[in-house]
Amino acid sequence: MRNREVAGLLENIADLLEIKGESLFRIGAYREAARRIESLTQDIAQMAEAGTLRQIPGVGEAIATKIQEYLATGHLRYYDDLQHEVDPALIDLLRVPGMGPKKVQLLHKSLSIRTMDELYQAAREHRLAPLPGMGVKTEQNILKELERLQQRTQRHLLGKVLPASEEVVALLRELPIVQRADPAGSIRRMKDTIGDIDILVASDSSEKVMKAFAQLPMVKEVIAMGATKSSILTYDNLQMDLRVVEPNCYGAALQYFTGSKSHNIQLRELAQKRGLKISEYGIFEETTGKRLGSKEEEEIYHILDLAFIPPELRENQGEIEAAQEGKLPKLIEIGDIQGDLHVHTKASDGSEPLMAMASAARAKGYQYLAICDHSKSLGIARGLSVEKLQSQWEEIRELNAQLVPFRILAGTEVDIRNDGTLDYDDDTLRGFDIVTASIHSGFNQPQERIMERLAAAMHHPTVDVINHPQGRIIGARDPYAVDLEMAFQLAAVTGTALEINAMPDRLDLDDHAARRAKELGIKLTISTDAHDSSHLNFMRYGVATARRGWVEKKDVLNALPLSELLNWLSQRRRKR
DNA sequence: GCCGTTTTCGGCCCGACTGTTTTCAGTCG
């Protein structure tokens, strides 16, 4: 898939146009197209061949032609020319907070500054301040931001940021002056990675809240402090932005600060067409200025005759249209989950015994838990030999007798070997209650080989689920070369379920892929891949990813009660 | 550059904050 590559190209064009001082609307058009292509599960190259590029919202005549040219020839004349007009090195400077296209252009023209290093030097030597529109304060800020940029990694895992934000929100809620508090922004939308943390508070004493916020125990540095907005840096280098609003605007503010930007823009356009205006203070009649709603978030949507749109869907990916037509999905909820279908124990690379994992699952109110330790050849993870399996099965039988009606399923995470064969013989595989299969090697194989392996696994008569089908580790490893559309077709034909792996650094299938799989009627599992009992709590991230993928309860295998899950599994055995 | 039950041309979300200014430009979300 070259989707990310094409999206990146369009982003670069937008950046260059921005520095060049082009129309903001044209720049926005490139960014919107990039965003749409990034979230596509269909292969952009295939769409280009089929001539269907213009079906992508935000892609019109001009951009479609450019994509065609780029994919066919490997380069784009327009982009090449642009790079001669505007030095591409300057794009980097836009990453410095406070540096926009105008300042980048100014510094480039007057001081020939091209890189962050040069910018840093110039600021150190006080050459920025005398420039028109700059000044001492601006120079100091640039210096500070450059230093901060070095120590701050760009994006953080939801699994790290969500608990941190909830901790802060809990502390803020304890203050008597605080009426309401919530994480907002991309955290509330449950994106898999997060930049800055947005927190919203309703209070009549804004400044007191600011002060209390700045004194929280996790605060390392106060970056900015205004009347209604302040930013801090925590000891684990998370930036948190706090905004305080009056309680009667809280709903409108929560809607606004939850975003996404793109969702809000579309919502505001819709409002405009009806003679209404939306801001963070409420929804108003354009002509009279009369406020129609603001206290609760739901009001904003209801006044526009929309069903309430859950935060996870607010990405301008068709949710507003669906809300208009009353066709929003009834999203799966954490309480719908009846069990976990992928966990490890001490027998392979987990850290707790079977009994501990089972008790923890039962304590969560689950009806079942599938033990899926690694298979024999995965030496690095102490994969189980057939002999060890026998004793694990024995242990499971004994425990099940004690724990009834709770049920431990004897499962495996069998390795799909480099040649596409599975890591246990068929007889052994038939002995499991559930077989999940994974690729753990040959990550760099070409797409054909990867697809052959996946196809072989999905056609194998015992395989029920493919785990982490994309194979990404967020921030560490790119997905392997999966043709997702083909994988989905295979899953649909063979009736194989696909996992949404809930590990915070996997979340694989990701949200877009999950949505496409759901559209094609593929069964999904949401499992944690827990290696100790605390990891069972990762389920919320898997459910969040599923929700972002418009997934409903009926799409998810482990939302079934035990008896129906067992039915599904045995019917599958009979069919094959 | 995209898009269309108010438009194939003329629109394109809205406000706060900062630092530089004497009324505003640039940046951000």
Residue A97: pLDDT band with limits 50, 70, 90: confident
- Choose one of A211, A245, A279: the last residue of a domain: A245
Q: Is residue A257 one of the residues assigned to a domain?
A: no
* Model pLDDT, residue A70: 95
- What span, in angstroms and rounded, lies between the C-alpha atoms of A227 and A245? 10
C1'-nearest nucleotide to the CA of A94: B27
| A432-468 confidence digits (pLDDT tens) | 999 999 999 888 899 999 999 999 999 999 999 999 9
User: In this model, does residue A172 exceed pLDDT 80?
Assistant: yes
Q: From the CA of A101, how many Å to the C1' of B9?
A: 29
C1'-nearest nucleotide to the CA of A196: B29
Structure token digits, residue A102: 């105008």
- State whether A133 and A163 are in the same domain: no
C1'-nearest nucleotide to the CA of A274: B6
- The residues with which A293 forms a beta bridge, in sequence order, are A283
C1'-nearest nucleotide to the CA of A96: B27
In this structure, what CATH number is given to the domain that contains residue A497?
Answer: 3.20.20.140
Q: From the CA of A304, how many Å to the C1' of B22?
A: 42
| A386-420 confidence digits (pLDDT tens) | 999 999 999 999 999 999 999 999 999 999 999 99
What is the four-CA torsion angle of A329, A332, A336, A338, rounded to 10 degrees? 120
User: In this model, does residue A383 exceed pLDDT 90?
Assistant: no
Residue closest to sugar C1' of B21 by CA: A133
In this structure, what CATH number is given to the domain that contains residue A43?
Answer: 1.10.150.110
Q: From the CA of A142, how many Å to the C1' of B2?
A: 35
Strands A239-245 and A197-203: parallel
Residue closest to sugar C1' of B5 by CA: A273
- What span, in angstroms and rounded, lies between the C-alpha atoms of A544 and A324? 23
- State whether A543 and A444 are in the same domain: yes
The percentage of residues in chain A with a pLDDT greater than 90, rounded to a whole number, is 74
Residue A351: pLDDT band with limits 50, 70, 90: very high
Closest-CA residue to A5 (of A63, A74, A58): A74
Report the number of distinct structural domains present in chain A: 4
* Model pLDDT, residue A147: 84
| A559-569 confidence digits (pLDDT tens) | 999 999 999 99
DSSP A385: P
Q: Is residue A250 one of the residues assigned to a domain?
A: no
| A230-269 confidence digits (pLDDT tens) | 888 888 888 899 999 999 999 999 999 999 988 998 999 8
User: In this model, does residue A379 exceed pLDDT 80?
Assistant: no
C1'-nearest nucleotide to the CA of A227: B17
- State whether A380 and A525 are in the same domain: yes
In Å, what is the CA distance from A106 to each residue of A139, A175, A218, A344?
13, 46, 38, 57
Q: From the CA of A289, how many Å to the C1' of B5?
A: 26
| A413-423 confidence digits (pLDDT tens) | 999 999 999 99
Q: From the CA of A278, how many Å to the C1' of B7?
A: 23
- Choose one of A302, A324, A346: the last residue of a domain: A324
Peptide bond into A132 cis (omega under 30): no
DSSP A90: G
Residue A422: Cβ within 10 Å count: 22
Residue A381: pLDDT band with limits 50, 70, 90: low
Residue A235, φ and ψ in degrees, nearest 5: -65, -25
- State whether A141 and A187 are in the same domain: no
Q: Which domain holds residue A542?
A: 334-575
C1'-nearest nucleotide to the CA of A265: B13
Q: From the CA of A21, how many Å to the C1' of B9?
A: 23
* Model pLDDT, residue A224: 82
Closest-CA residue to A263 (of A302, A196, A313): A313
User: In this model, does residue A299 exceed pLDDT 80?
Assistant: yes
* Model pLDDT, residue A436: 97
The string over A286-319, giving b where at least 16 C-beta atoms fall within 10 Å of a residue's C-beta and e elsewhere, is: eeeeebbbbbebebbbebbebbebbbbbbbbbeb
- State whether A135 and A167 are in the same domain: no
- What span, in angstroms and rounded, lies between the C-alpha atoms of A189 and A194? 10
Q: From the CA of A241, how many Å to the C1' of B16?
A: 14
Residue closest to sugar C1' of B11 by CA: A25
- Choose one of A324, A349, A365: the last residue of a domain: A324
| A206-218 confidence digits (pLDDT tens) | 888 988 998 999 9
Of the candidate ranges A143-152, A242-251, A331-340, A546-555, the one whose mean pLDDT is the lowest? A143-152
In this structure, what CATH number is given to the domain that contains residue A319?
Answer: 3.30.210.10
Q: Please, which positions of strand B sit below 7 A from a protein CB? A: 1-3, 6, 11-21, 25-29
Element (H, E) at A5: helix A3-20
Q: From the CA of A103, how many Å to the C1' of B8?
A: 37
Q: From the CA of A133, how many Å to the C1' of B22?
A: 14
CB contact at 8 A, A436 and A464: yes
Residue closest to sugar C1' of B1 by CA: A26
* Model pLDDT, residue A158: 95
Q: Is residue A252 one of the residues assigned to a domain?
A: no
Q: From the CA of A115, how many Å to the C1' of B23?
A: 34
User: In this model, does residue A153 exceed pLDDT 90?
Assistant: no
Element (H, E) at A407: strand A407-415
Element (H, E) at A436: strand A434-438
- State whether A129 and A278 are in the same domain: no
C1'-nearest nucleotide to the CA of A184: B29
CB contact at 8 A, A495 and A463: no
- State whether A118 and A177 are in the same domain: no
Q: Is residue A260 one of the residues assigned to a domain?
A: no
Stronger pLDDT, A288 or A510, i.e. the higher one? A510
